[in-house]
Amino acid sequence: MTAAPESSLQIDVFSIFPEAIDGFCSYGLLGKAREAGLVTVRVHDLRSQAGDPRRSVDDAPFGGGAGMVLLPGPIFDAVESCSPPRPLLLLGPAGRLFNQEMARELAEQAASGSGGFSLLCGRYEGVDQRVVDHLVDGEVSIGDYVLAGGEAAALAVIEAVTRLMPGVMGNDASLVEESFADGLLEYPQYTRPSVFRGWAVPDVLLSGDHGKVACWRRAQAIMRTIEVRPDLIEARGGLSPDEVRLIRQYGYAGDLPPQMQGP
Ligand code: SAM
Q: Check if 139 has its Cβ closer than 6 Å to any atom of ligand 1.
A: no
Closest among 197, 59, 178 to 128, alpha carbons compared? 59
Q: Is 12 within 8 Å of 118 (Cβ atoms)? A: yes
pTM above 0.85?
Answer: yes
- pLDDT < 70 regions, the chain: 1-7, 173
**Cα-to-centroid distance, 122 and ligand 1 (Å):** 7
Classified as helix, coil or strand, 119 is: strand
Measured over the CA atoms of residue 96, residue 100, residue 106 and residue 112, the dihedral's sign is: negative
What is the crossing angle of helices 100-109 and 151-162, to 10°?
70
How many other CB atoms sit within 10 Å of the CB of residue 172? 11
In this structure, the residue with its CA closest to atom 8 of ligand 1 is 148
- Please report, for residues 7, 14, 44, 74, the alpha-carbon distance to residue 82 in angstroms, rounded to integers and kept in the order given: 22, 11, 9, 13
**Cα-to-centroid distance, 22 and ligand 1 (Å):** 20
- pLDDT tens per residue across span 154-177: 999 999 999 999 999 987 767 777
User: What domains are defined for the chain?
Assistant: 9-162 (3.40.1280.10), 195-260 (1.10.1270.20)
Q: How far apart are CA 43 and CA 150, in angstroms?
A: 13
pLDDT for the residue numbered 259: 83
Classified as helix, coil or strand, 101 is: helix
145 CA closest ligand 1 atom index: 23
pLDDT for the residue numbered 4: 47
Residue 38 sits at φ, ψ, to 5 deg, of -80, -25
pLDDT for the residue numbered 178: 84
